[in-house]
Amino acid sequence: MRLILIDNSPEIRCKFSPLALGRPLWELRCGMTSLEEKFVAKINPNDVAYFVPDYMADFYRTRVKKPVNDVTVLAGDDLILVDPLVKVEDLKVPAQAASKIALDEQGRLLYARISKGDIERRPADTIEKFTASARESVPNVTCKLRKWNYIWDLVLANAELITADFAAAGQRGIEGTIEQPVAIRGSKKDIYVAPRARVHPMVTIDAENGPVYVDEGAEIQPFSRIEGPCYIGKEATLLGAKCREGNTIGPFCRIGGEVEASIIHGYSNKYHDGFIGHSYIGEWVNLGALTTNSDLKNDYSDVSVSLDGRQFIDTGSTKVGSLVGDHVKTSIGTLLNTGSYLGAMAIVMATGKPLPKFIPSFAWFVEGIVTKGFGKTRLYETAKMAMSRRGCEWSAAERAMWDAVFEATAPARNKAIKKGRRTLLA
Amino acid sequence: MATVEERVKAVTARVLRLSSDEINMDDSFTADLGAESVQSIELVAMFEEEFGIEMDEDAALAVETVGAAVEFITNVCKEQGISIE
């Protein structure tokens, strides 16, 4: 059976901004793994193929080295098509079953199981035509499966999913190196230190309230405290960090200071002191020393977030920190308000006060206003430099993808720039 | 209407907190007038507002002297159909 992941709805994608700007939705993380990894673990397909927005297809092909936006994958095998935002624990896929399409109450596809025989009667040249054709001839059922609705939902569920993923991984004990003295609280069966992971002396691992998973090659330096549930990704480094409960630290991250209940994608740095809580941080982010966000309002009311610089959405939660897009750089001492949005590639300089809650993608936030700054080329040069320092390539395909994001995010950015200019002229 | 040179000097004086009299065409924004990188961003923004033009950031930030800025802005105004004098 082949798993087909489809991400082609702009009105859904924008709810996962800014993290969805540079990746398909199934690449988002919650718990120890990405959404895709959860589907693969549940469904155990022979292979996986992807349908992504056109602007990121070339780049994503270089990333996964599998079929992307290739309709030929729709033939030759039984298929299961899935909305990547379906919560995997609600998905029940029998090994053998008749073709069926499951729709939500708005008629949107949740998943479809289509047998090889049914496909051969239904060739199509786009995924949209394929699913439309399948709906007409395969039995449709309406069902209720829980879905992720907004990017902050992943943050709020992170602790619970770390615990679930730890149980599913089935790994326990110490296979890496622990240099004494190290304090371990809670049960050792709730701790896993993978091969090549190193825990230095004077570290506390506290699994009393949830499991702790330290993945391969991670390094936990002295005076770090890790409270479970927590996942430390491959080759990540904690530098005397206070790693509170509910964190997913991605591969190759460098984390210091205090982090709580946050998801951080790979290759991001928060090297120095400062607090980040209930936040979702993308790849290649550098948070300057003493960058700190608020994740709780002074009056304990629900946090609202703007994903587009216009409307504010009530999250229904009192604890929401910052949403930080890929390649964002903050200066020393940056203060982020509760429910802040920093768009991808933004350069953010501190002002001594909490910053505006919405800073658009590719903005240079300087001297308290959004500006054009030194432009897009300089941002790409910085991205290329940051990636090369870690042995990663900034490719033409990646540049083309970000060019498309630059164009798509121009209206919000230009509006903010005009507002900034009015401030300067006043 | 004031000349392009007068307007460039006026904007420069305002952003860098100088007197227009202190600004010469040969002056480098950074070496002679003390503009820091953050102020360079503001200068570009204020030139755009003053003249009603859009400047390519890379090209604009490569301009080093007041005289070169006058020439650059004059050319951009002509390209974008903005009346200058």
Report all structural domains of chain A as residue ranges with CATH numbers, in order of start. Answer: 2-149 (3.90.550.30), 153-425 (2.160.10.10)
Give the span between the Cα atoms of A199 and A193, in whole angstroms.
Answer: 8
Q: What share of chain A has pLDDT > 90, as a percent?
A: 92
Whether residues A374 and B57 touch (CB distance < 8 A) is answered with: yes
Please indicate whether, in this complex, the C-beta atoms of A367 and B57 are within 8 angstroms of each other. Answer: no
Q: B45–A424: do the CB atoms touch at under 8 Å?
A: yes
Q: Give the strand pairing for A329-330 and A286-287.
A: parallel
Put simply, the answer to whether A377 touches B58 (Cβ < 8 Å) is: yes
CA distance B17 to chain A (A): 14
For B52-84, b/e burial (b = at least 16 CB within 10 A) is ebebebeebbebebbeebbbbbbebbeeeeeee
CA distance A17 to chain B (A): 26
Q: Do A425 and B49 touch (CB under 8 A)?
A: yes
Residue A411: how many other CB atoms lie within 10 Å: 13
Long-range contacts, A56-59 (Cβ 8 Å, 24+)? A56/A22, A56/A23, A56/A24, A56/A401, A56/A404, A58/A397, A58/A400, A58/A401, A59/A395, A59/A397, A59/A398, A59/A400, A59/A401
Residue A382 at interface with chain B, using a CB cutoff of 8 Å = no
The answer to whether residue A421 neighbours chain B at the CB level (below 8 Å) is yes
How far away is chain B from the Cα of A281, in angstroms, using its nearest Cα?
Answer: 26
Beta bridge partners of A219: A198, A237
Q: How many residues does chain A have?
A: 426
Mutation target to probe the B interface, by most B beta carbons within 10 A, among A365, A369, A372 is A372
Is any Cβ of chain A less than 8 angstroms from the Cβ of B61? yes
CB of A418 within 8 Å of any CB in chain B? no
pLDDT value at residue A119: 73
The confidence score (pLDDT) of residue A123 equals: 67
Please list the ranges in chain B whose pLDDT falls under 70.
85
Name chain B contacts of A376, Cβ cutoff 8 Å: 57
| Contact at CB, A375 and B38, closer than 8 angstroms | no
The reply to whether ipTM tops 0.85 is no
In whole angstroms, what separates CA A205 from the centre of its chain? 25
Q: Output the pTM of the full model.
A: 0.94
- Cα gap A327→A404, rounded to integer Å: 16
Provide the shortest C-alpha distance from residue A351 to chain B (in Å). 13
Residues composing chain B: 85
Nearest CA in chain A to B48: A421
pLDDT of res. A202: 98
Q: Taking CA atoms, what residue in A is nearest to B45?
A: A421
Chain B interface includes A361 (CB < 8 A): no
Contact between chains at B44 and A367 (C-beta distance less than 8 A): no
Cis peptide bond upstream of A24, omega within 30: no
pLDDT recorded at residue A332: 98
B38 interface with A at CB cutoff 8 Å: yes
> In B, which residues are within 8 Å of A421 by CB distance?
45, 48-49
Cβ–Cβ below 8 Å for A371 and B41: yes
Using one digit for the tens of pLDDT, what is the confidence trace for A383-421? 999 999 999 999 999 999 999 999 999 999 999 999 999
Structure tokens at B58: 């890379």
Token pair in block for residue A18: 């800014």
Instruction: Output the pLDDT for position A94.
Output: 75
Residues of chain A with confidence (pLDDT) below 70: 95, 120-123
d(CA A309, CA A246): 28
Q: Count CA within 13 A, CB hemisphere, residue A15.
A: 15
CA–CA min distance B38, chain A (Å) = 7
- Residue of chain B nearest A373, judged by CA positions: B41
For residue A156, give Cα distances in angstroms to A257, A278, A319, A383: 21, 7, 8, 29
Cα–Cα dist B11/A424, whole Å: 12
Interface check for A407 against chain B (CB to CB < 8 A): the answer is no
> What is the nearest CA distance from B26 to chain A, expressed in angstroms?
23
Classify domain B4-79 at the CATH superfamily level. ACP-like (1.10.1200.10)
Whole-Å CA distances, A188 to A119, A183, A192: 50, 11, 8
